[in-house]
Structures are given as C-alpha cells and as structure tokens.
C-alpha cells in the first residue's frame, strides 16, 4: 500500500470491514476529543471522525463561528477530509462517529456519500434527523441504506453540550 489516494469505482477500499460494535466506544472517544477541542475554541462541542479499515481518515469539529459557515458542522468537515484521503467522494467502507445525532444536512450528506454506517452519541432534541425529529435514513424513497446506532457514550457527549450551553447562558466563554 502507498499513501497515494485510492481512485476508481473498483477500488478495494470499498470493501474494507466496518468497525465492530465492541470498538464503538473507542472510536467515539476520538469524536469526543474533537468535541472537546471545539469547546476549547468556544464553538458548539460536537466532534466527528470517519474510520476506514481501522484508522481515522477524517476529523471534524463544529467550526461555524470560526469559518462563518453555516455548513461547517463536525460531520461535514470530517467527511470532506475523509473523501480527500480516499481520493473519492464515496465513503463506502467507512463509518462516521459523531457525538451528537446528526441534523438533516449532515444525515443527508452522509447518505449522499453512500456511507454504510453512522454511530452517534447523544440524541439531538432540536434537529436530530435519524430518530428524534425525523427518520431521514430510514425513508424508503432512497435506494441507499445507511445503518445507524445511537447512544454510544451518550452521557459524556451530552455533558459537554450541557456544560457549554449553561456557560453561554451565564455569559461565560469556554
Ligand atoms: Zn449537522
């Protein structure tokens, strides 16, 4: 193997094994690390990583304030980095780990990337698009099926958000 991007529709990367469920906590730890970095940067503490073949190939944290970009959610940035690493917009053979249930934009982007597995931590009461507010990934209209698992290290993921918003309400920065 070389470090060069793997190109083309017949590339073997697509058949990489997905992370087994006993590793979910560990990979969520990587996403939590990104979320903590977001908190340090005074952004909403949501973090995401894309895992392929046992390695993190994309990382992201919420950067909407810094980039003045409404689409700069953790998942979008992690998927962009992963696609660059693979040299292909399709994230087949990849799993996305994110600390918060994705919004409609990010769940939609994951579907468009043909992502086979999305694992998240806390439920997203306001904008959760997989379970809480709508069931975007389970709509029979799409011909792509994306498996999703929630509640992984949910308390830690939610605690970061709770702490952030309570500080905001009290007028404190991170
Ligand atoms: Zn989002």
Residue 7 Ramachandran class (φ > 0 left, ψ -120 to 50 alpha, else beta): beta
Q: How much is the pLDDT for 13?
A: 81
pLDDT digits (tens, 9 = 90+) for 38-94: 999 999 999 999 999 999 999 999 999 999 999 999 999 999 999 999 999 999 999
Distance 65 CA to ligand 1 centre (A): 14
Residues whose CB is under 5 A from ligand 1 (ion)? 73, 103, 105-106
Cα(34) to centroid(ligand 1), Å? 15
Contacts of 73 (CB under 8 A, 6+ apart): 46, 60, 62, 64, 102, 103, 105, 106
pTM of the model: 0.93
Q: Which residues contact 75 (CB under 8 A, 6 or more apart)?
A: 48, 60, 96, 98, 102, 106, 109, 110
Catalytic residues: 75
- Taking the centre of ligand 1 as the mean of its atom positions, its distance from the CA of residue 50, in whole angstroms, is 15
Identify the pLDDT of residue 14: 83
Q: How far is the CA of 2 from the centre of ligand 1 (A)?
A: 33
Query: Which of 109, 142, 144, 149 is CA-nearest to residue 21?
Result: 149
């Amino acid at each position: 193997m070389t470090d060069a991007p793997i190109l083309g529709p017949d590339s073997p990367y697509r058949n990489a094994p997905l992370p087994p469920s006993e590793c979910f906590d560990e990979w969520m730890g990587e996403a939590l690390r990104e979320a903590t970095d977001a908190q340090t940067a005074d952004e909403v503490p949501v973090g995401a990583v894309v895992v392929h073949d046992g390695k993190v190939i994309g990382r992201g944290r919420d950067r909407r304030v810094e980039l003045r970009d409404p689409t700069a959610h953790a998942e979008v940035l992690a998927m962009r980095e992963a696609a660059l690493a693979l040299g292909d917009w399709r994230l087949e053979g990849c799993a996305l780990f994110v600390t918060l249930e994705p919004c409609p934009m990010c769940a939609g982007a994951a579907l468009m990337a043909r992502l086979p597995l999305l694992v998240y931590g806390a439920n997203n009461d306001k904008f959760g698009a997989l379970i809480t507010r709508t069931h975007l990934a389970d709509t029979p209209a799409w011909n792509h099926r994306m498996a999703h698992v929630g509640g992984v290290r949910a308390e830690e993921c939610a605690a970061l958000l709770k702490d952030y918003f309570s500080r905001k309400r009290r007028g404190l920065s991170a």
